[in-house]
Structure 1
Amino acid sequence: MQGARANRRRGEVEAVIDGERRILCLTLGALAELETAFSVGDLNGLAERFSSGRLKAADMIRLIGAGLRGGGNLFSDDEVAAMSVDDGVVGYARIVGDLLAATFAGPGRDAAANP
């Protein structure tokens, strides 16, 4: 994604993963993938699951993987699991939080108020 910039209005976020700046986006296809992975019936089910604030490491891998694929980066969840980010688990949590906020809250809105 050399030269590309994240567009928050489209729900995109930018993150440095494995030393490379990448664009992540939970597109409609990525959200459908997550509905299946988390066995929820709809987007409200996804929002409820994520708003609990209790995510497993496997959940973060799925979210980041779906976001990467939605942003045009073709990585499997196994490849995502082997990637690294600055600040370790805190860095992963930051990426997931940014991605969920961009998807469910939209630009300029608080994700906690509107999951």
Structure 2
Amino acid sequence: MVNPMRGDVLVTLDGVDHIARLTLGALAELETELGAGSMVELAARFEEGRFSASDVMGVVVAGLRGGGWRGNRADLLAMDVAGGPVAAAQAAAQLLARAFAMPG
């Protein structure tokens, strides 16, 4: 079950629902993969609309892995993301927003 308070975001791949969340480990992996100076810098790119397709892929893969998915970027490239690129970008933005939201 998706729990937004825990940072969960639903991502549907090839018709199968997956819970994605940016855990601390997923965030560290993402920061290294995307070469971001900081996670705040990456979040700012999304807020300002300066993100790339590679940024979206990185965030979605990290979130899926944080939720327990065992795939990688190549696996995601071969799958159908329900809603296409727009839904993937929205999921990435939600993952970042929920990872850094203050409780309450």
Indicate the TM-score class for this superposition, using the shorter chain for normalisation.
0.7 to 0.9
Runs of 5+ in structure 1 lacking a partner? 109-115
TM-score (norm 1): 0.78
Aligned counterparts, 1:43-82, within 5 A: 43-82=39-78
What code does the residue aligned with 1:105 have? A
TM-score (norm 2): 0.85
Q: Which has the higher helix share?
A: 2
Aligned counterparts, 1:91-110, within 5 A: 91-105=87-101
Question: Per chain length, whose mean CA-contact separation is higher, i.e. which structure has more relative contact order (CA < 8 Å, sep 6+)?
Answer: 2
1:64-97 per-residue CA deviation (whole Å, 9 max, x = no partner) reads 1100000001111110111112332112122212
Deviation at 1:107, TM superposition (A): 6.6
Q: Secondary structure at the match of 1:15?
A: strand
Per mean C-alpha deviation after superposition, the further-off stretch among 25-34 and 98-107 is: 98-107
With over 3 angstroms needed to count, the CA separation of the structure-2 counterparts of 1:79 and 1:61, relative to structure 1, is: same
Runs of 5+ in structure 2 lacking a partner? none
CA RMSD of aligned residues (A): 1.9
Structure 1 runs of 4+ with >4 Å offset: none
